[in-house]
Amino acid sequence: MILVACSVVDEAATQLAEEIRGFAAASVLTCRDLALSKCAIRCPNVTDSRLTLEGRNLAAEEILGVINLIPAVFPDELYYFPENEREYQAAEFHALLTFFLGALPCPVVNRPTAASLAGPYAGKAAWIHVARRLKIRVANLHLDSACWTMTDTEKQTGELVEATCLHGEVISGSGSCAIAACRLANAVGVEYLRARFSKDGVGHALIEVSTVPDIRRDATRNGLLQLCRRWAGPQ
Could you list the residue range(s) of the whole structural domain that residue 20 is in?
Answer: 2-118+218-232
pLDDT over threshold 60, residue 132: yes
Residue 111 DSSP one-character state: P
Q: What is the pLDDT of residues 9-31, one digit of tens each?
A: 999 999 999 999 999 999 999 99
Whether residues 140 and 98 fall in one domain: no
* Domains identified in the chain, total number: 2
Q: What is the pLDDT of residues 50-74, one digit of tens each?
A: 999 988 999 999 999 999 999 999 9
CA angle (69 as vertex; 66, 75 as ends), nearest 5: 125
pLDDT score at 96: 96
pLDDT score at 149: 47
What DSSP letter does each residue of 215-235 carry, written as one string?
A: TTSHHHHHHHHHHHHHHH---
Mean pLDDT within 104-119: 94
Whether residues 159 and 199 fall in one domain: yes
Whether residues 135 and 192 fall in one domain: yes
Task: List the CATH number of the domain containing 39.
Answer: 3.40.50
Whether residues 109 and 17 fall in one domain: yes
pLDDT over threshold 70, residue 41: yes
Whether residues 102 and 164 fall in one domain: no
pLDDT over threshold 70, residue 144: no
Whether residues 205 and 187 fall in one domain: yes
Whether residues 190 and 222 fall in one domain: no
Q: Helix, strand, coil shares of the chain as percentages rounded to 5? A: 40, 25, 40
Q: What is the pLDDT of residues 153-191, one digit of tens each?
A: 445 556 899 999 999 999 999 999 999 999 999 999 999
pLDDT score at 147: 54
Whether residues 21 and 111 fall in one domain: yes
What DSSP letter does each residue of 2-35 carry, written as one string?
A: EEEE--TT-HHHHHHHHHHTTTS-EEEE-HHHHH
Whether residues 50 and 165 fall in one domain: no
Whether residues 172 and 203 fall in one domain: yes
Residue of 60 and 140 predicted with greater confidence: 60
Whether residues 144 and 84 fall in one domain: no
**Identity of residue 21:** R
